Amino acid sequence: MSDMSRVQLDSAPEMKSISYEKISGLNTLAALVVGSTCGTGTAGPDIHSVYVLENRKLKELPRDDHHGKWNGVDYFKRLEGNKNFEFTVADGLLQEIWYGKWGPDTVTLTFNWNGKKFVLIDAKFKNGSRQK
């Protein structure tokens, strides 16, 4: 379910980034969208979605609901402060680059499109890798 479907808007959301990327397994470009509704205050973006155009309609593509855990490891415990992420694509795979508000560390979660949803296939912690 879309982050946007849970939010009541009094005004248009503020888009932080929209990029169009080729992702392995998809027959069209995907729009990677990160934005904020007016209700987020200092919490950071609350819209993180991947869309494609299917039959002339916008369709959100689902991702694994991982909560920062993969193979029994809670990667988010290593990040300091409020956690948020940005999208990227590497070697045709969708990635979420997670960071904490105060620390320099990042967690990169990598997803593969299986035809129905993005499935988490890898997680890597990088000490001191965030450029502020």
pLDDT of residue 9: 53
Helix/strand/coil (H/E/C) assignment for every residue in 51-112: EEEECCEEEECCECCCCCEECCEEHHHHCCCCEEEEEEEECCEEEEEEEECCCCCEEEEEEE
pLDDT > 80? residue 112: yes
Structural domains counted in the chain = 1
**Residue 73 forms part of a structural domain:** yes
Average pLDDT over residues 41-68: 87
Domain that holds residue 34: 3-126
- Looking at residue 27, what DSSP letter applies? S
Backbone angles phi, psi at 109, to 5 degrees: -105, 130
**Residue 132 forms part of a structural domain:** no
**Residue 83 forms part of a structural domain:** yes
Give the CA dihedral 125, 126, 128, 129, nearest 10 degrees.
Answer: -130
pLDDT of residue 63: 93
pLDDT > 60? residue 92: yes
Tell me the whole-structure pTM to 2 decimals.
Answer: 0.82
Average pLDDT over residues 84-113: 90
pLDDT of residue 51: 96
More confident position, 97 or 82: 97
Confidence of residue 36 (pLDDT cuts 50, 70, 90): confident
pLDDT > 80? residue 103: no
Average pLDDT over residues 66-79: 82
Average pLDDT over residues 100-105: 80
